[in-house]
Amino acid sequence: MSFFALVQDSLISYDLIIWCIAIGAILAFLINFFMQNVAGKVVRALISNDCIGEEKAKTLSELSLKPNFMLKWMLKEKGMLRSVVFVWGGRMPLRLDTDKSIPDFDSARFYIKDENEFKAAARFGRPMSVWYLILFTVLAIAAAYGMTIAMPYLMRWMGLI
């Protein structure tokens, strides 16, 4: 059974497949936008304050960053930034005023290892403009819409239906 027969004989339509691909591309672009603008803010602050190497580690307040929910989520023990951003001493310090193991983001000192400086700068070097996001979204929607209109004609031309 070919793919085209599967699509013709089931509830799956070409339109659905095309729109799912477009939505997937838009979501991938949104994640990239988030990584460049939100996560990249921490990396750019560390690089601009010369926090390269464990001896030059600084706290978030020294970097003029407020530890909000997203920042804490990205810098937690297995967070998305921990491949390039490291904590002085190897482990996140814990708050002493509670009986739970809550990381203390106020006293934690962060840095980028010497060997990861190029990787961090290349990955998070500059923020992405929101205009790229808008332009890509409009182009993806226009391409998906155009494909849903053109697909029946292309299928007939190719002799698939």
Residue-level pLDDT, tens digit, the chain, 161 residues: 455 555 555 556 777 888 888 999 999 989 888 888 888 888 889 988 998 988 898 988 888 888 888 888 888 777 778 788 888 876 666 666 665 666 777 788 888 888 888 888 888 877 778 888 889 899 999 988 888 888 778 777 877 76
Q: What was the pLDDT predicted at 23?
A: 92
pTM over 0.85: no
Report residue 19 as tokens: 């729109």
Instruction: Report helix, strand and coil shares of the chain as percent, to nearest 5.
Output: 55, 5, 40
Q: How far apart are CA 12 and CA 37, in angstroms?
A: 36
Q: What was the pLDDT predicted at 79?
A: 76
Q: What was the pLDDT predicted at 2?
A: 52
Q: What was the pLDDT predicted at 1?
A: 44
Residue 120 CB partners (closer than 8 Å, separation 6+): 43, 46, 47, 84, 85, 112
Of the candidates 65, 44, 68, the one whose C-alpha atom is nearest the C-alpha of residue 128 is: 44
